[in-house]
């Protein structure tokens, strides 16, 4: 008989952390309280969806500590934390979870104000025997909500990302749309793609790659043994098409 862990207080602890970060009163917490049933059913569904829950970095830290306190078999496989305000500190907490919890298979944290430091922490966690198969750090919404992987000359996250592409044995889906990757990253990522053994989908739209940068990444993708789908615009492209059209660029505008 499976013993269900007692996580009845998790929603209250997340709620308290949310109030501490945003200064939000109890009268406006009704929407967040609806996540109680999702949290309570974590060990049954293996999915924890806290999308747009108003979570800040304090709540991320609380969430990670609570999940790491559960037996590995009771931790969620899929984490949906899109459209919160986790920031770099929240990303550091998520990286700690990835390093310590091999059961986590998918992390979606789009539009969370994550900057280069937070992205670097997550990418470096993927290099440490992490079993994550799907990562979404893409951006949408207002500029204040967007994740930014590179900022000016602050580009160590790009180098770590290239290493992830080369070395990760599990990552198959990577979505980084509108994260300010920029044309400078194209050569580094292009060189890494042919060495990827697991990546099946790469999504990099709205990153200001420019025609030359997009073409460079497409060239690398054409030599990636496992890659099936490359998305550099609003329309994803199967790599089989790219292999036959390396010198054309109808899908490479950014």
Q: Dmax over Cα atoms in the chain, in whole Å?
A: 60
Statement: residue 170 has pLDDT above 80: yes
Residue 119 has what pLDDT? 97
Q: How many CB atoms lie within 10 A of CB 107?
A: 23
Residue 26 has what pLDDT? 45
Give the model's confidence band at 130: pLDDT under 50 very low, under 70 low, under 90 confident, else very high: confident
d(CA 202, CA 207) in angstroms, rounded, equals 13
- The residue written with tokens 């440490």 in the block is 128
Q: DSSP letters of 161-174?
A: HHHHHHH-SS--EE
Statement: residue 2 has pLDDT above 70: no
Domain boundaries, the chain: 10-180
What is the pTM assigned to this prediction? 0.83
Six token digits for residue 90: 């929240």
Mean pLDDT of 162-174: 95
Residue 9 has what pLDDT? 61
Residue 25 has what pLDDT? 47
Residue 254 has what pLDDT? 38
**Which superfamily, per CATH, for 10-180?**
Ribonuclease Inhibitor (3.80.10.10)
């Amino acid at each position: 008989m499976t013993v269900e862990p007692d996580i009845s207080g998790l929603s209250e602890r997340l709620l308290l952390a949310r109030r501490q970060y945003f200064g939000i009163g109890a009268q406006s917490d009704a929407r967040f309280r609806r996540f109680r049933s999702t949290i309570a059913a974590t060990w049954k569904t293996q999915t924890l969806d806290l999308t747009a829950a108003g979570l800040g970095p304090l709540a991320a830290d609380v969430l990670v500590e609570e999940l790491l306190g559960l037996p590995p078999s009771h931790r969620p496989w899929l984490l949906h934390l899109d459209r919160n305000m986790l920031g770099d500190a929240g990303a550091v907490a998520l990286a700690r979870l990835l390093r310590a919890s091999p059961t986590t298979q998918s992390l979606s944290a789009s539009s969370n104000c994550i900057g280069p430091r937070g992205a670097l922490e997550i990418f470096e966690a993927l290099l440490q025997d992490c079993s994550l198969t799907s990562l979404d750090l893409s951006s949408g919404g207002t500029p204040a909500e967007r994740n930014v992987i590179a900022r000016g000359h602050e580009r160590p996250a790009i180098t770590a990302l290239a290493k992830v592409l080369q070395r990760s044995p599990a990552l198959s889906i990577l979505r980084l749309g509108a994260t300010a990757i920029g044309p400078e990253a194209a050569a580094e990522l292009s060189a890494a793609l042919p060495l990827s053994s697991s990546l099946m989908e790469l999504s990099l739209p709205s990153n200001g790659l420019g025609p030359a940068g997009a073409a460079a990444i497409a060239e690398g993708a054409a030599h990636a043994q496992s890659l099936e789908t490359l998305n550099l615009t609003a329309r994803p492209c199967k790599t089989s098409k790219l292999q036959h059209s390396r010198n054309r660029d109808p899908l490479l505008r950014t």
